[in-house]
Chain A
C-alpha cells in the first residue's frame, strides 16, 4: 500500500469513529465504542491465515462513568492529534505524543503505557496499523544482512540498497515503518533470524551469508513490530524459508512463537505481523544433550515457564512436547553462543550445515 493510500485509509477510519460519537451525542445518547476483549482468553487460532487473532468477545466502553468517559475523551484527543499529523504530513513517536498530552488537561495521559494501549485500541477499531497514524515506536529497528535488494523512500529521496554490498558490517537498519519498503530482488536460499547480536556478528564474520546464500537478521531479543512485519513480507513476497535461531531457554521459545504465531498484544495484526511458515532452528534442548554444550541449571521461573508452554496451544505439537519435556528432564539451558566452546567456526561449519540439512533447507 502506498503512503497516500494508507493516509487516506487512516483519515477515513478516524473520521468514522468521531462521526459515530457525534451522531450518538446529537441523538442524546452517551457516546460509546465497542472493542474486542484484549486477553489471552479471547485469542483464537485462525486456520486460514495460520495465525492467532482476537476472538469475538467484545466489550462496550460507554462514557457513563468518569473513568470510561475520560478514556473516550483521551481517544478523541488522540484522534484529533493524529488527524492534524495526517494533514500536516508529520510524524511523532509514541513518547512524544505522551508528552504532548501534557497540554490536554483532563485528557492528559497518566503514564506512557496508557497512551500506548490507547493507540493499540485505535489500531484494533480502525483496522489501520499505527504506522498509518504516523506514530513511531521508540526503539530502533533490528538489522538485516544478506544478498537482497530493497528500495527505501528516504528523506533524501528513493534509495536502492543492496544489503551486503551497500551496507557496513552491521547490516541494513530496519526502519520503524517498513510499509513503504519495496523488496526488489534477492539471491538467497533462506533467512536466519537470530536472537543475539553475538551470533549475528559471528555468522557475518565467518561469511556464512556468502557461503550459503543466506539472509541474516538480528531480532534483538523480542522483535519489534517492524522486524516481524519485514519477516512476514519477505516470507510472503519471496517465499523463502525463515529459520529462527535463539538461545535454548523457555523465554527464547516465546520469541520464536511471537515471530511464527503472533503475540497476544498485537493479535489484531497477526495477519501482517506473524510468519506462520517460520521454523525453529535452535538451540534445541536435544542439542544441549547431543553436543554436550556448556549450560546453566534451570531456575524455578524457567521450569514454571516451560510448564506453561506445555499447556500453550501454540506449542501443542509433538516436536515441542518432546523438546520441552527433554529440557525439563535435563534441567539445563544453554545460550546459542555456547557453541563457541567447540571453536569459533563450529557453529557455521558444523552445527548449522548439519541442522539445515536435517531440516531439508540445504
Chain B
C-alpha cells in the first residue's frame, strides 16, 4: 500500500513534446548528422504540399550555413500560400498540429510532427528559437515570429512577433539553428536530387556554405492537388467508427452513404440487414455491441475499391523518365505506373523506373531510389519492403547479374503513393511489408526488367555484329597472311568471305607507313549513293581522289567524299597521314552499313 502511494506521487501525464524530447530517434533525429537532413526534409515536404494546395509551381530556396562551432543555420523558403499569422505559432510550436491528419488523400506530411520536432530539436541543442516569416498575399503584410515550444505543455511560446518587410508576395520562410555537422553533405545533396527527380515541377536552389546548386524543374505543369475522400468501409477500425457515429446526427443508412466512399443506398441497406439494424435508426444512439455488428457487416459486404484518381497523385511515366534523365545520364530509362490498388481499404499506386548504363557506376550494387508520396526515403534501405522486393525479383532472367540486389550500372526507382503509406516507424524511413503493395512493386519491376532485357539484347546484337565485322575485316586477313606463309602457298584472298558474310556496305580505314586508306565495299545487292565523312588531324592533301570538300575546326579536318558505288564493287581512296579520328558513312540505313577502323 505504502509503495503504491509512493509510486503514485511519481505518476503524472507526459506531454507529447516531452515524449519526443526523450525519443528523438522516432522522428529521425537520432544523430546530429541526420538532424540536418530530417529538418530540411520536413520543411521541404511542407513547402511542396503547400504549393500543391495553392496550385503554384514550387520555387524553393534552401540555405545551410555554419554560424558557430558545430552550429548550423538552416533556412527553407517557399513561394507557397503562406500561413495566416494566428496559425503560425501552432504549426511550428506545437507537436501534432496539422491540417492533413484528418484527411484521406496523398500528402507528404501527415501527423504535423515534422517541422515542430525540428524546432524542438533546435531548442534542445542550441536554445535558439525558430524564426518564421510568412505572408499570405500581396495585400497582407508579412509577419516575423520567434517561436519556442513549452515542453511541459506542448504549447507554442512566442518570443516575438512583428510585421516584416518581405520581398516575397506570398510564401513561408523558416529558419532553424541547431547543433549538427555537415558530414552527411553528400547524402543531403542526394536527398535534394532525388526529391527533384520525383517533383519535376519544382525548382530547388541550394546554398551550402559557399557552394550553390540548382535543381531545375523540367515540367511547367502545376500538379493537381489530391482531393480528400471519405474513409472506405474496409479500411476503418472500431474506434474510428465509434467516434464518427457519436458525432453524427444522421440516420444509419444516410450515415453509411454519406460518411464512406463507394457506399450507395443498396450497399448500405445490405450492411444494415447483415448487422440486423434498422436503417432508420439514429447512429448516435447505437451501443457498442451494435456498432461491432455494424463494423463486421461493413467489412463483409463487397464494396468497390476506393476511388484513386482524385486522392492520389502519381508522377506519371513520362515525368519520371524526364526527372531521371535530368539528374542521371543513362543509356536507357523506362518507367511504369501500375493501375491503382487497395490494401486494408487504403488506395495506393506503385510506380517504378529502371535505368541502365551511362554514368551509373559500372560495378557494385544497383542504385536504389525509394520514394513514398514523392518523398525520398534516405535511411534504413535494408528494412524496406522496396529493397526486399528488388531482391526478390530474379534479375538474372533479364540478363542482369545479381547477388541479392542486382549488380552493375542499374538504377531502380520505386514510388509508392497512398493515402496512408505504411511506414515501419514515425521517422518514415522504410515501407512496411504489405503483401498487396509488394505484389504491385514486383509486377512493376518484372515488367521493366523485360523491357530492359530487350534493350540489352538489342545492344548486344549490335555489339556482336560489330565484333563480327572486326573479325572478318581485320583478323581473318591476318590469319590468311600467316597461314599462307606457313604452307608456302599464294596469299588467300579473303574478300569472298567478307562479302558472303556481311551483305552490307563495309567501310574500312587503315594506316600503313604514313599512308591512310579508306575502302568502301558494296556487298549489298543494290547500287548506293553515299557520302564518306572522315574526321581526323590529317588534311588529306595529296589524296589520290580529292574530297568534295574539307573543313577545319580546332585542328580537326572533316573530309567529305560523295560517290555512287555500284553493287559488288569497291571504292578506295589513299592519302598521306597518321590516321585515327573517326569515319562515318551517310546516305544508307544503319543496318546496311558497317564501319571498321582496322588500326584499333
Q: Which 6 A-B pairs have the closest CB atoms?
A: A69-B475, A69-B471, A28-B496, A76-B482, A18-B486, A25-B492
In contact, B487 and A22 (Cβ under 8 angstroms): yes
Q: Does B290 interact with chain A (Cβ within 8 Å)?
A: no
Q: List 19 A-B contacts (CB under 8 A).
A: A15-B487, A21-B479, A21-B483, A22-B484, A28-B496, A30-B476, A30-B501, A31-B483, A63-B476, A64-B468, A64-B472, A66-B470, A67-B467, A67-B471, A68-B471, A72-B479, A73-B475, A76-B483, A83-B486
Q: A66-B475, A72-B479, A106-B474 are in contact. List 17 more A-B contacts (CB 8 A).
A: A15-B486, A21-B479, A25-B480, A25-B483, A25-B497, A29-B497, A31-B476, A63-B475, A66-B468, A66-B470, A69-B472, A69-B475, A70-B475, A73-B478, A76-B486, A80-B482, A106-B478
Within 8 A of A (CB), among B460-508: 464, 467-468, 470-472, 474-476, 478-480, 482-487, 489, 492, 494, 496-497, 500-501
Q: Tell me the nearest residue of chain B to A83, going by C-beta.
A: B486
Instruction: Evaluate contact between A66 and B483: CB separation under 8 angstroms.
Output: no
Using an 8 Å CB-CB cutoff, how does the interface string of A75-108 with B read, 1 for contact, 0 for none? 0110110010000000000000000000000110
Whether A69 contacts B486 by the Cβ 8 Å rule is no
Tell me what chain A mostly uses at the interface: helix, strand, loop, or mixed: helix
Q: Which of B471, B475, B494 contacts A25 (CB 8 A)?
A: B494
Contact of B471 with A66 in the complex, beta carbons under 8 Å: yes
Count contacts on B: residues with CB < 8 A to the other chain. 25
B468 surroundings in chain A (CB, below 8 A):
64-66
CB distance from A172 to the nearest CB of B (A): 39
List which A233-289 residues lie within 8 A (CB) of chain B. none
Q: How far is the CB of B361 from chain A (nearest CB, A)?
A: 26
Contacts of A30 in B (CB 8 A): 472, 476, 497, 501
Residues of A within 8 A of B489 (CB): 22
B483 touches A22 (CB 8 A): yes
* Chain A proximity of B464: nearest CB distance (Å): 7
A69 & B479 in contact (Cβ 8 Å cutoff): yes
Alpha-carbon distance A107/B476, docked complex (angstroms) = 12
Q: Tell me which residues across on chain B come within 8 A of A76, comparing CB atoms.
A: 479, 482-483, 486
Q: Give per-residue flags for B164-184: 1 if the beta carbon is below 8 A from chain A beta carbons, else 0.
A: 000000000000000000000
A73-B485 Cα distance, complex, nearest whole Å: 13
Instruction: Decide if A26 is an interface residue (CB 8 Å cutoff).
Output: yes
User: Which B residues are closer than 8 A to A by beta carbons?
Assistant: 464, 467-468, 470-472, 474-476, 478-480, 482-487, 489, 492, 494, 496-497, 500-501
Chain A residues contacting B470 (CB-CB under 8 Å) are 66
- Cα(A69)–Cα(B482), bound, Å: 13
- Decide if B471 touches A63 in the complex (CB within 8 Å): yes
Q: How far is the CA of A80 from the CA of B485 in the complex (A)?
A: 8
Residues of B within 8 A of A25 (CB): 476, 479-480, 483, 492, 494, 497
A79 to B482, CA, bound (A): 9
Contact residues in A for B480 (Cβ distance below 8 Å): 25
A2 interface contact, C-beta 8 A: no
Give CA–CA (A43, B294) in the complex, Å. 74
Which chain A residues have a beta carbon within 8 Å of chain B's beta carbons? Answer: 14-15, 18-19, 21-22, 25-26, 28-31, 63-70, 72-73, 76-77, 79-80, 83, 106-107
Chain A's nearest CB lies how many Å from the CB of B484?
7
B500 near A64 with CB under 8 A, answer: no
Distance between Cα atoms of A183 and B379 in the complex (Å): 76
A73 touches B479 (CB 8 A): yes
Determine the distance from Cα of A64 to Cα of B478 in the docked complex, in whole angstroms: 14
Interchain CB contact under 8 A, A65 and B479:
no
Compute how far the CA of A70 lies from the CA of B472 in the bound complex, rounded to whole angstroms. Answer: 11
User: In the docked arrangement, what's the CA distance between A15 and B485, Å?
Assistant: 11
Chain A neighbourhood of B475, CB < 8 A: 63, 66, 69-70, 72-73, 106
Inter-chain contact A65/B476, CB cutoff 8 Å: no
CB-defined contacts of A21 to chain B, threshold 8 Å: 479, 483
* Residues of A contacting B478 in the complex (Cβ-Cβ under 8 angstroms): 73, 106-107
A26 shortest CB reach to chain B, Å:
6
Give chain A residues whose Cβ lies under 8 Å from the Cβ of B497.
25, 28-30
A residues near B494, Cβ cutoff 8 Å: 25
Q: Using A63-B476, A73-B482 as known contacts, say yes or no to A18 and B487 having CB atoms under 8 A apart.
A: yes
A67 CA / B487 CA spacing, docked (Å) = 24
B491 nearest CB across to chain A (Å) = 10
**Chain B residues near A67 (CB-CB < 8 A):** 467, 471
Bound together, the chains give a CA A67 to CA B464 distance in angstroms of 11
Distance, CA A28 to CA B479, complexed state (A): 13
A77 touching B471 by the CB < 8 A rule? no
| Cross-chain contact A26 with B479 (CB below 8 angstroms) | no
Query: A residues within 8 A CB of B485?
Result: 80
| Bound CA–CA A69/B468 (angstroms) | 9
Residue of B nearest to A30 (CB): B497
Residue of B nearest to A18 (CB): B486
Measured between beta carbons, the chain B residues less than 8 angstroms from A72 are: 475, 479
Closest to B500 in A: A28
Chain A minimum-CB-distance residue to B466: A66
Docked Cα-Cα span, A72 to B492, in Å, equals 16
Q: How far is the CB of A65 from chain B (nearest CB, A)?
A: 5
Among A15, A64, A79, point to the contact of B471 (Cβ < 8 A).
A64
A68-B476 Cα distance, complex, nearest whole Å:
10
Are A80 and B486 interface neighbours, CB within 8 A? yes
- List of B residues within 8 angstroms of A64 by Cβ: 468, 471-472
A121 to B432, CA, bound (A): 57
Residues of B within 8 A of A14 (CB): 486
A184 CB → nearest B CB, Å: 40
Q: Which residues of B contact A18 (CB under 8 A)?
A: 483, 486-487
